[in-house]
């Protein structure tokens, strides 16, 4: 959650990062170099506990099987365990 421009241009959640990377640049003459990974669609993915992106996330951890709260990151909130604060700082920062 946060300003739309920041979410689209500087995504935090791994799902949004991969979604953004999958959009081709129509101004570029070169082909997209992003590898799209298609995972199996799980029948119960929306009824499972924890993060709904767990089985497809490149950063999945054991804790992701628990429902993540919204973590405050600047003016934004992200529902991902990668942003759990640790010793006053972020546990993980996306590149």
Domain spans, the chain: 1-24+48-95
pTM of the model: 0.69
Over residues 53-77, the pLDDT tens digits come to: 888 889 999 999 999 999 999 999 9
- Count the helices and strands in the chain (H runs, E runs): 2, 4
Note whether 76 and 3 are within 8 A (CB): yes
> Which region, left, alpha or beta, applies to residue 15 given φ > 0 means left and ψ of -120 to 50 means alpha?
alpha
- DSSP 3-state of 72: strand
> What sections of 22-95 are H helices per DSSP?
none
Instruction: Please report which confidence band the pLDDT of residue 95 belongs to, taking 50, 70 and 90 as the band edges.
Output: very low
């Amino acid at each position: 959650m946060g300003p739309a421009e920041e979410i689209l241009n500087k995504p935090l959640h791994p799902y949004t990062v991969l979604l953004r990377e999958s959009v081709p640049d129509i101004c570029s003459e070169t082909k997209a170099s992003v590898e799209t990974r298609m995972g199996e669609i799980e029948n119960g993915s929306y009824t499972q506990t924890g993060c709904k992106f767990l089985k497809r996330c490149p950063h999945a951890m054991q804790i992701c099987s628990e429902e993540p709260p919204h973590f405050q990151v600047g003016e934004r909130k992200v529902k991902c365990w990668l942003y759990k604060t640790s010793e006053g700082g972020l546990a993980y920062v996306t590149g």
